[in-house]
Amino acid sequence: MDRDGALMTDNTVLQKTPSAAEAGAALAALRTEIGKAVVGNDQAVLYLVLALLCRGHVLLEGVPGVAKTLLVRALATSLALDHARVQFTPDLMPGDVTGSQIYDPHSAEFTFRHGPVFTNLLLADEINRTPPKTQSSLLESMEERQVSVDGQPKPLPDPFVVVATQNPIEQEGTYPLPEAQLDRFLFKVDIRLPDRDDEFRILQRHANGFDPRDLGAAGLRPVAGPEHIAAARAAIAQVTVSPEVLAYIVDLCRATRSSPAVAHGASTRGATALLAAARAFAWLNGRAYVTPDDVKTVAVAVLRHRLQLRPEAELDGVSTEGVLSSLLVSVPVPV
């Protein structure tokens, strides 16, 4: 042990665990750093950070060309985490994602070649462009944080987050994600076209030489790392939730199941996801307790993809966002 209290082994200094305050400052800097490459989309950045803190996954939906991929690349660059990108196409096979057994003629044995899923941040680009068989290859990875090969589990690194981008279902050549996989995403975030001012700022950056393929030239650098995420998670575990707020979360999720416009409401997994997201959001805002407003803030992003509307409601133009907005008004809020 050196005079500063850091442990030393094999001539390597093990850095002290960051404090909760240091982790909070690093994550605030992370959101600012991403802004060097991505204009607007502050809400999407917030949900990506929350997903890291909650060990969750994020589904980004939007038309092509609204910086979904750039957003994820900027996050990975600013975090100093390993990352990989998989372009989902109709001919992609499950082994192309998880890895496969390869025969070695020299040893006359099969060896496992790790797929791109063995990383910290996996960008599953246009996930709904590939058939359900390949989509389902991510199910075990997202839920169990492992890949099973010949009955043997192979753990994935920590942190591990899947950020999937999706084109709107109405577009030609897409395969809707199955409900079981949708339920494994913590958030679904809509990436919309920028407003006029943001679009002007984007073009201004490009006119000044910004190259989205070279984020280093744009000034992005790592400002946080796994140690900050671990410290933040430990602090979030200490955030208290009153019985009244827990009951509010339960009532809100149960209300989705009894809504006349909804065929299938939020599952219990959805309720636990809402709790986790609300705690992380409360901590990011400097509080050691969860308020009903925290729950309301993250509720739509947590629940929108977990509701299945009745066909007649869809024909009437009802949306899941509209249903949730109505429930957030009608479900009694604890004082």
CATH number of the domain within which 48 lies: 3.40.50.300
Indicate whether 313 and 167 sit together in one domain.
Answer: no
- Has residue 4 got a pLDDT over 80? no
The mean pLDDT of 248-252, rounded to a whole number, is 97
pLDDT at 8: 38
Indicate whether 166 and 47 sit together in one domain.
Answer: yes
Q: What type of residue is 301? A: A
Number of domains in the chain: 2
- Of 311, 62, 262, which is closest to residue 170 (Cα–Cα)? 62
Indicate whether 180 and 245 sit together in one domain.
Answer: no
Under 8 Å CB-to-CB from 29, ≥6 apart: which residues?
223, 224
pLDDT at 3: 38
Dist. CA 201–CA 195, nearest whole Å: 10
* Each residue's pLDDT tens digit, 264-319: 999 999 999 999 999 999 999 999 999 999 999 999 999 999 999 999 998 999 99
Pairing of strands 58-61, 161-166: parallel
* Each residue's pLDDT tens digit, 123-165: 998 898 888 888 888 888 998 999 988 778 899 998 999 999 8
pLDDT tier for residue 171 given thresholds of 50, 70 and 90? low
CB atoms within 10 A of CB 235: 18
pLDDT at 328: 96
Q: What does each C-alpha distance from 28 to 114, 146, 178, 296 come to in angstroms?
A: 34, 30, 35, 22
Dist. CA 317–CA 269, nearest whole Å: 27
Indicate whether 193 and 326 sit together in one domain.
Answer: no
User: What mean pLDDT is reported for the chain?
Assistant: 88
pLDDT at 6: 42
Indicate whether 48 and 118 sit together in one domain.
Answer: yes
Indicate whether 204 and 249 sit together in one domain.
Answer: no
Question: What's the pTM?
Answer: 0.88
Q: What does each C-alpha distance from 139 to 99, 122, 125, 328 come to in angstroms?
A: 14, 13, 16, 30
Dist. CA 146–CA 153, nearest whole Å: 6
Q: Are the CB atoms for 321 and 192 separated by under 8 Å? A: no
Dist. CA 188–CA 305, nearest whole Å: 6
CATH number of the domain within which 315 lies: 1.10.8.80
Q: Which residue, of 210, 230, 263, is where some domain finishes?
A: 210
Indicate whether 117 and 24 sit together in one domain.
Answer: yes
Q: Are the CB atoms for 307 and 323 separated by under 8 Å? A: yes
- Of 6, 5, 19, which is closest to residue 231 (Cα–Cα)? 19
Dist. CA 277–CA 211, nearest whole Å: 34
- Of 82, 61, 188, which is closest to residue 126 (Cα–Cα)? 61
CB atoms within 10 A of CB 250: 14
Task: Print the domain residue range for 73.
Answer: 15-210
pLDDT tier for residue 174 given thresholds of 50, 70 and 90? confident
The single-letter DSSP state of residue 147 is E
Per DSSP, what are the bridge partners of residue 142?
none
pLDDT at 186: 96
Dist. CA 197–CA 47, nearest whole Å: 23
pLDDT at 170: 62
The mean pLDDT of 73-100, rounded to a whole number, is 89
Cis amide leading into 311 (omega within 30): no
Indicate whether 201 and 302 sit together in one domain.
Answer: no
